[in-house]
């Protein structure tokens, strides 16, 4: 099966019947060119969200089998519709739900992990030149209960299938032409990148890019599957996510700028002293599944100053933790902020990146709330108003045009 | 499991989240009263139709696995939502799709027959006081392909489960209080019937009543399962479908009047002679799955006169058959007609019913197109305009008030 390629279509690329027809047309042309596609599909865009809304209406916050059974129905609909569209074009195909494809997961509902895939069934279909259409995002436990893999889980399904089939490339089709140096809505001069390393892509996913789910990039790295992110309805190549040598093969220090508006800062006006408080605070926030992002504490002088950032969507849960710890009157919530980051494997071997970064911040007069760095990124929370000009200035500073 | 009752909720009774909450409330009260319900659900009303429309948009007339996979997603949604509503009320329950409940069918997609149910799983749940919520309408083949049972298939699921569990009663919850002596929209004085025999109910389903699917009544008769048709949100008893002795236990000759507007008459102006033509005609119509209802041919004199009735929805297919047989210019289509029937096991032992029936027709001056009779019914196609007055006059003539 030399020409076997795993192709995942997601997001807005399966957003309507017309688009599903276009996917069928593309697959039919792929077939004529000698490719043998194995297709993984997401739900039609918006559909899963409307199911989630229904679930929340009936029983807010419930997690378990019923919820996963409900939200997994979206992929069932998209693979059946694509199957009909392929039938119409005379292409032999077989729609497969997770229980039919043998995608077995842990019993952690709504964020299950794929444990194994009984790949023989899919292999048998491929051997007979039948195109498998696999429902992404879903799995079954050993007890045959339906699970889902969390947001963006269809990417994970695609990578897991590529790995199980020992296929070296997995194509991720979406409604954008690839991964850009920055969000073009923010930086109009942003350009499509030819390639990114796995670690750069992971940082980008973590730092706000919505193109790929971070777990799927991790998994691709682990099993050495190249990802090709490309536009579902255009022929041109997209962006390759590959195993690049650290140090910037292409000579660029910074590869991309990422931003995230779903963030806010909680700042302590007066931090309760003692290491016990910090331990209690972050343990309790963890229990409530609050995603604490950047933490900053300056221990210089007393009282010490603590701030941390969380997604805007976790504010309610955080406030109830702070209330429980009786410090809710001691804090300020800073809402109108944004996270902006520069990412690049080249940073590890180039000094002076931080200096260039902060002189841009100085020039744009952005108000800086939090900073964190790693070998391949610098990430800051700044005031929302300064986001656009800072993004553009950073883009220019690091020659991303 | 003395208090075990199979309860099927269908049609408009699962039409919204509010109604699903009401069902959960009712089940919770049933539980408090000591009942142990096993629940079978249809899709939320309108949902399956919208899926069918999508399928037809992509690939009209396709029948097969993809279609069944698509349309079976409605029941998946309703059982998960009911499960969430029961969870909220603290009732242990388990939503089960056909493949999970082991409902195995033939591979006749869209009209599969239930071949067996692995009832042990459901029994184990009941033993642990967990309420099983079974997706109606769907099954799986031996090869684990998803099938559906045809329109009203959820009734069939409920009856099959009752039979497999050896339960004597199956409750069919709907949005009407029971089976009426006539459609109350047509005959305002129609009243709810306490009981009907299986054969009466089968005739009624056949002749236009939409309360129960004919195959489920047949199956209930075969496995001796009493059906109790009742309103989902009212306490009062509904109509029992039971094994009544022929001859009219309650002394009434006629039990009910049924009508059907989805009918039209195809009349030959000059019938091609020879028995071959009739054989060709009805064989070809059968191949196209046209449902030919009443056939009338008067052989007296030449040319002989042939007419037959079909559902309005089958007209297009019929005309293409008539064209193929080159007789399309030889016919008239009579559109504005309706079928009206009287049904009653009492008719078999009472003479004179036909006489009374036709004197009503004479009085109302209805134009009569076709007639057919059996031991327990008289069925006619008349002009649509006369339907209402004829229904009311028949209702009065046979003392159905």
Which residues from B are below 8 Å from A when comparing CB atoms? Answer: 17, 20-21, 51, 54-55, 57-59, 62, 64-67, 69-70, 73, 76-77, 79-81, 83-85, 87-88, 94-95, 97, 99-100, 144-146
Interface test with A, best of B16, B61, B84 (most A CBs within 10 A): B84
3-state SS, chain B, equals CCCEEEEEECHHHHCCHHHHHHHHHHHHHHHHCCCEEEEEECCCCCHHHHHHHHHHHHCCCCCCHHHHHHHCHHHHHHHHHHHHHHHHCCCCEEEECHHHHCEEECCCCCCCCEEEECCHHHHHHHHCCCEEEEECCEEECCCCCEEECCCCHHHHHHHHHHHHCCCCEEEEEECCCCCECCCCCCCCCCCECCEEEHHHHHHHHHHCCCCCCHHHHHHHHHCCCEEEEEECCCCCCCEEEECCCCCCCCCCCCCEEEEECCCEEEEECCCCCCHHHHHHHHHHHHHCCCCCCCEEEECCCCCCEEEEEECHHHHHHHHHHHHHCCCHHHEEEECCEEEEEEECHHHHHCCCHHHHHHHHHHHHCCCEEEEEEECCEEEEEEEHHHHHHHHHHHHHHCCCC
CA of B26 vs chain A CAs: smallest distance (Å):
16
- For residue A147, how many other CB atoms are within 10 A of its CB? 28
> How far apart are the C-alpha atoms of A352 and A355, rounded to whole Å?
5
* pLDDT score of B138: 97
| pLDDT tens for each residue of A267-291 | 988 777 677 888 889 999 988 888 9
Nearest to A77 among B59, B70, B81 (CB): B70
Sheet with A256-260, side-by-side order of all strands: A256-260, A337-343, A377-383, A368-374
pLDDT beyond 50 at A184: yes
Region of poorest pLDDT, from B141-155, B168-182, B275-289, B296-310: B296-310
| Residues in chain B closer than 8 A to A145 (CB atoms) | 100
Give the CA-trace dihedral at B285, B291, B297, B302, to 10 degrees.
-30
Q: What percent of chain A has pLDDT over 90?
A: 74
| pLDDT tens for each residue of A340-360 | 999 998 887 777 888 999 999
Contact B58 A85 (CB under 8 A): yes
pLDDT beyond 70 at B216: yes
CA of A262 vs chain B CAs: smallest distance (Å):
29
Task: Give the ipTM.
Answer: 0.86
CA of A288 vs chain B CAs: smallest distance (Å):
20
Contact B21 A85 (CB under 8 A): no
Contact A59 B99 (CB under 8 A): no
Minimum Cα–Cα distance from A121: chain B residue? B143
Region of poorest pLDDT, from A27-36, B103-112, B295-304, B360-369: B295-304
- For residue A269, how many other CB atoms are within 10 A of its CB? 12
pLDDT beyond 80 at B330: yes
- For residue B146, how many other CB atoms are within 10 A of its CB? 28
* pLDDT score of B361: 93
Nearest to A84 among B66, B81, B97 (CB): B66
* pLDDT score of B251: 61
Interface test with B, best of A67, A83, A93, A125 (most B CBs within 10 A): A83
Token pair listed for B17: 């989240």
- For residue B332, how many other CB atoms are within 10 A of its CB? 11
Token pair listed for B369: 């197109």
Nearest to B59 among A67, A87, A99 (CB): A87
Nearest to B85 among A20, A58, A94 (CB): A58
Contact A62 B80 (CB under 8 A): no
Q: Are A326 and A344 in contact (CB under 8 A)?
A: no
Q: To the nearest whole number, what is the mean pLDDT of chain A? A: 91
**pTM of the predicted model over 0.95:** no
Q: At A299, is the secondary structure helix, strand, or coil?
A: coil
Question: Average pLDDT, stretch B74-100?
Answer: 97
Model confidence at A375, pLDDT cuts 50, 70, 90, reads confident
pLDDT beyond 60 at A299: no
Q: Are A94 and A56 in contact (CB under 8 A)?
A: no
Q: To the nearest whole number, what is the mean pLDDT of chain B? A: 91
Contact A17 B57 (CB under 8 A): yes
Of A250, A129, A150, the closest CA to residue A200 belongs to: A250
Q: Of A300-304, B19-23, B59-63, give the range with the top mean pLDDT.
A: B19-23
Instruction: Please name the residue that has the structure tokens 């077939």.
Output: A31
Question: Average pLDDT, stretch B329-357?
Answer: 89
| pLDDT tens for each residue of A221-235 | 999 999 999 999 999
Q: Is A52 exposed, middle or buried (0-12, 13-18, 19+ CB in 10 A)?
A: middle
Of A249, A231, A247, the closest CA to residue A239 belongs to: A231
Q: Is B142 exposed, middle or buried (0-12, 13-18, 19+ CB in 10 A)?
A: exposed
Model confidence at A246, pLDDT cuts 50, 70, 90, reads very low
Helices (H), A14-110: 17-32, 47-58, 65-71, 73-88, 98-101
Token pair listed for A32: 């004529």
The DSSP H or E segment spanning A296 is: strand A295-298
Region of poorest pLDDT, from A21-30, A47-56, B82-91, B349-358: B349-358
| Residues in chain A closer than 8 A to B81 (CB atoms) | 54-55, 58, 66, 70
* pLDDT score of A303: 57
| Residues in chain B closer than 8 A to A83 (CB atoms) | 65-66, 69
pLDDT beyond 90 at A166: yes
> How far apart are the C-alpha atoms of A103 and A72, rounded to whole Å?
13
* pLDDT score of A300: 55
pLDDT beyond 60 at B385: yes
* pLDDT score of B301: 53
Model confidence at A248, pLDDT cuts 50, 70, 90, reads very low
Q: What is the largest CA-CA distance in chain A?
A: 75
pLDDT beyond 80 at B299: no
């Amino acid at each position: 099966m030399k020409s076997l390629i795993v192709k995942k279509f997601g997001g807005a690329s399966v957003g309507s019947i017309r688009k599903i027809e276009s996917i069928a047309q593309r697959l039919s042309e792929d077939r004529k060119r000698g490719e043998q596609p194995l297709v993984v599909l997401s739900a039609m865009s918006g559909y899963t969200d409307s199911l989630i809304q229904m679930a929340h209406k009936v029983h807010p916050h419930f997690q378990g089998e019923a919820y996963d059974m409900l939200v997994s129905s979206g992929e069932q609909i998209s693979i059946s519709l694509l199957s009909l569209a392929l039938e119409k074009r005379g292409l032999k195909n077989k729609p497969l739900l997770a229980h039919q494809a043998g995608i077995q997961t842990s019993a952690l509902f709504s964020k299950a992990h794929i444990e194994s895939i009984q790949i023989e069934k899919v292999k048998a279909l491929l051997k007979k030149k039948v195109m498998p259409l696999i429902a992404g995002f879903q799995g079954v436990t050993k007890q045959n209960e339906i699970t889902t893999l969390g947001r963006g889980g269809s990417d994970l399904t695609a990578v897991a299938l590529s790995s199980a089939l020992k296929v070296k490339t997995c194509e991720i089709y979406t409604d954008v032409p690839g991964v850009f140096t920055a969000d073009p809505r923010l930086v109009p001069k942003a350009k499509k990148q030819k390639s990114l390393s796995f670690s750069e892509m992971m940082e980008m996913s973590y730092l706000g890019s919505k193109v790929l789910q971070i777990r799927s990039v991790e998994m691709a790295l682990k099993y050495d599957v190249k990802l090709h992110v490309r536009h579902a309805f255009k022929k041109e190549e997209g962006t390759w996510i590959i195993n690049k040598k650290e140090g910037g093969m292409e000579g660029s220090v910074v590869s991309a700028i990422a931003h995230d508006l779903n963030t806010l800062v909680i700042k302590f006006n007066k931090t309760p002293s003692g290491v016990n408080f910090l331990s209690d605070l972050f343990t309790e926030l963890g229990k409530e599944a609050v995603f604490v992002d950047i933490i900053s504490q300056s221990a210089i002088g007393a009282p010490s100053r603590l701030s941390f950032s969380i997604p805007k969507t976790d504010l309610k849960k955080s406030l109830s933790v702070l209330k429980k710890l009786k410090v809710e009157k001691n804090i300020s919530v800073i809402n109108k902020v944004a996270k902006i980051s520069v990412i690049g494997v080249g940073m590890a071997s180039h000094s002076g990146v931080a200096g260039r970064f902060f002189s841009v911040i100085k020039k744009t007069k952005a108000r800086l709330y939090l900073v964190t760095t790693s070998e391949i990124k610098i990430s800051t929370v700044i005031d929302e108003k300064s986001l656009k000009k800072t993004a553009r200035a950073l883009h220019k500073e690091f020659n991303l045009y």
